[in-house]
């Protein structure tokens, strides 16, 4: 606790040197956070001592710093939004928010930030909140090292852990989000960064992108969500170094890409997902240096995708490496490792001498008749695939890797 308080204290040190410090304590002169805010001047710092504060909706309309000592509890009593911030240069650090109200017509949050700039939400705990952290029409802000946990059983019972709408230049770093509808939600968010977060056991998506351009997310873990990540109706997104793991279900993906363009998916891990990547309406996107391991489908590449490049990826122990729903494929697949490749390398240059066709006939049958998956590993399926390899007539002619590598790429 002391370490956290010192962290928050030094974070606010520039403000402390030129401002007053007010102390809120259940047994002190100022006993409520609302009173502390009323008495504070812009630029002041409020230190909140340990205790439980039930003050309904607390509105912040001035530039202040609020630091919790010993994780004071702000209880929404299942009725209220707790903090509503409508001011620039506000910092909230070291508080615990519990039991906000819920609503079906508007978004109730533990911390809601409206039309503000340079807001920092750092090292707080959120338990059983409807929405955890909610930013609307705000910019140049920082959300870091927060813990958000909810336990809803259905999507209508809960909001998103970290929710951004119409924002820009926001950094979301080192947060842990669990049990919400979407762990992190972006809509109309630009030029922002999501890094080093862990989003797991959320009902819908670990991360959900909508109409959000020129963003980057890297080094995050998306584990055991309804689906891992959805990036939709978006361009110029960089997806680097993330792990998509154990996203299982009849409609689950590690990564869903729908109607996006000019993006990059590089150096990610897709491990034990129903579908590693589902691509629909994707154009001019690079998929490079990714590992696909033990997925049901590694890549589901719809015929609506064009001008995408797959290179230097490892495909190992997947049920199906690539499936498609069309015969004309306008994408480039070259220089990948496939554990199902049975070709040879006579000149010992590490590149297979014959092309590899990652789409097998049985995969195309399953794509059209899903119940046919029951025949997986049967003798009939083996005969069909062997015959198709010898005389390919049904699988797409131009969907093949002309330079498959003989050994997997080393990602260590």
Interatomic CA distance for residues 25 and 12, integer angstroms: 20
Rg (CA), the chain: 25
User: Residue 6: what pLDDT?
Assistant: 53
pLDDT lower than 70: segments of the chain: 1-19, 251, 327-328, 361-397, 412
Token code pair at residue 318: 């997947």
User: Residue 388: what pLDDT?
Assistant: 55
Residue among 249, 261, 107, 111 nearest 175 (CA): 111
pTM over 0.75: yes
Residue among 140, 132, 136 nearest 178 (CA): 132
Tokens 């997997």 found at: 408
Q: What is the SS3 string spanning 254-320? A: CEEEEEEECCEEECCEEECCCEEEEEECCECCEEECCEEECCCEEEEECCCCEEEEEECCEEECCCE
Residue among 351, 358, 353, 352 nearest 389 (CA): 358
- Does residue 158 contact residue 181 with C-beta atoms inside 8 Å? yes
Sequence spans of domains, the chain? 53-390
User: Residue 378: what pLDDT?
Assistant: 61
User: Residue 365: what pLDDT?
Assistant: 60
Interatomic CA distance for residues 23 and 1, integer angstroms: 17
- The residues near 373 (Cβ < 8 Å, ≥ 6 apart) are 366
User: What would the pLDDT profile of 317-329 be if each residue is shown by its tens digit?
Assistant: 998 899 887 766 7
User: Residue 151: what pLDDT?
Assistant: 87
Which residues, listed in sequence order, are joined to residue 323 by a DSSP beta bridge?
A: 300
Interatomic CA distance for residues 184 and 98, integer angstroms: 19
What is the CB-side half-sphere exposure of residue 357 using CA atoms within 13 A? 21
Helix (H) or strand (E) run with residue 33 in it = helix 33-39
Q: Which CATH architecture has domain 53-390?
A: 3 Solenoid (2.160)
N residues, the chain? 412
User: What would the pLDDT profile of 68-85 be if each residue is shown by its tens digit?
Assistant: 999 999 999 999 999 999
Interatomic CA distance for residues 93 and 111, integer angstroms: 12
- Does residue 256 contact residue 249 with C-beta atoms inside 8 Å? no
């Amino acid at each position: 606790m002391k370490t956290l308080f010192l962290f928050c204290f030094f974070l606010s040190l520039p403000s402390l040197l030129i401002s007053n410090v007010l102390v809120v304590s259940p047994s002190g002169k100022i006993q409520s956070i609302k009173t502390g805010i009323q008495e504070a001047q812009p630029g002041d710092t409020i230190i909140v001592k340990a205790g439980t504060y039930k003050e309904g909706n607390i509105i912040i309309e001035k530039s202040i710093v609020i630091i919790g000592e010993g994780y004071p509890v702000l209880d929404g009593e299942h009725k209220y939004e707790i903090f509503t911030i409508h001011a620039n240069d506000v910092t909230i650090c070291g508080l615990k928010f519990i039991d906000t109200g819920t609503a079906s017509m508007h978004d109730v949050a533990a911390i809601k930030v409206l039309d503000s700039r340079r807001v920092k939400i750092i090292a707080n705990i959120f338990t059983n909140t409807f929405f955890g952290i909610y930013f609307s029409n705000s910019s140049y802000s920082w959300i870091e090292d927060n813990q958000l946990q909810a336990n809803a059983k259905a999507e209508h019972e809960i909001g998103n852990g970290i929710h951004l709408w119409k924002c820009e230049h926001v950094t979301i770093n080192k947060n842990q989000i669990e049990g919400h509808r979407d762990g992190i939600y972006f809509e109309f968010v630009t030029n922002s960064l999501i890094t080093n977060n862990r989003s797991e056991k959320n009902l819908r998506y670990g991360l959900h992108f909508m109409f959000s351009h020129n963003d980057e997310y890297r080094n995050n873990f998306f584990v055991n969500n309804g689906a891992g990540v959805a990036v939709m109706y978006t361009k110029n997104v960089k997806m680097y170094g993330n792990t998509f793991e154990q996203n299982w279900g009849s409609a689950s993906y590690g990564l869903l890409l729908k109607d996006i363009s000019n993006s990059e998916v590089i150096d990610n891990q897709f491990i034990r997902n129903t579908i590693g990547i589902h691509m629909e309406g994707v154009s001019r996107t690079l998929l490079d240096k990714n590992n696909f391991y033990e997925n049901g489908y590694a890549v589901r590449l719809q015929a609506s995708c064009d001008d995408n490049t797959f290179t230097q990826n490892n495909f190992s122990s997947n049920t199906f490496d690539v499936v498609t729903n069309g015969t004309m494929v306008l994408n480039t697949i070259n220089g990948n490792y496939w554990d199902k490749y049975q070709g040879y390398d006579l000149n010992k240059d590490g590149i297979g001498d014959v092309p590899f066709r990652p789409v097998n006939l049985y995969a195309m049958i399953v794509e059209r008749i899903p119940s046919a998956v029951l025949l997986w590993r049967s003798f009939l399926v083996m005969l069909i695939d062997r015959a198709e390899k010898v005389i390919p007539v049904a699988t797409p002619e131009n969907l093949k890797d002309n330079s498959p590598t003989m050994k997997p790429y080393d990602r260590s």
